[in-house]
Amino acid sequence: MKGILGLMPDGYFGSYLTLAVYALAMIGLVAGTLGLNRLVSPKVPKREKLTTYECGVEPVGTGQSQTTIRYYMFALLFVIFDVEAVFLFPWAVVFEEIGMFAFIEMMIFIAILALGLLYAWRKKVLDWL
């Protein structure tokens, strides 16, 4: 397949070009609908209409305020486990060919992580602060 102005090579990157065209088409679809909305919708800006919604009363302070993120420890754990998951995928594809050796290797890896989870559990990190 030669395709768009010779930009569509066969093989690995060709499939990602289709992906890019698909994404652009999706953005176009959303933009088209938003454009249609711009053409047909009324425009009556009022002072009250443009205020931030806060149960009908005047907003107090700013909405972009500092907030305690109570789950930041979970977020740290998530990063560690997500990296583990990235390692897991290439292994999952080839482990049957390598056999028992790969299985035991990965189980040691998972066991270390599970130990880490257990440690976090006992340290009460997994309880909502």
Query: Angle at CA 74, nearest 5°, toward 70 and 76?
Result: 110
- Which of 13, 94, 122, 124 lies at the binding interface for another protein (CB under 8 A)? 94
Rounded to 5°, angle at Cα 38 from 35 and 39: 95
Check residue 108 for interaction with another protein (CB under 8 A).
Answer: no
Query: What is the spatial distance between Cα 5 and Cα 56, in angstroms, rounded to a whole number?
Result: 56
Can you tell me the distance from the alpha carbon of 56 to that of 38, in angstroms, rounded to the nearest whole number? Answer: 27
Phi, psi of 8 (to 5 degrees): -110, 85
Answer for which of 108, 119, 121, 123 binds another protein (CB under 8 A) is 121
**107 interacts with another protein by CB under 8 A:** yes
Helix (H, G, I), strand (E, B) or coil at 96: helix
Residue choice 11, 56, 57, 67 for contact with another protein (CB under 8 A): 67
Q: How far apart are CA 109 and CA 8, in angstroms?
A: 41
Q: How far is the CB of 108 from another protein (least distance, A)?
A: 12
Asked if 20 interacts with another protein (CB under 8 A), we say no
- If binding means CB under 8 A, how many residues of this protein chain bind another protein? 71
Note whether 42 binds another protein by CB under 8 A: yes
Report if residue 57 touches another protein, rule: CB under 8 A: no
The residue from 13, 43, 122, 124 that contacts another protein (CB under 8 A) is: 43
Q: Is 119 a residue that touches another protein (CB under 8 A)? A: no
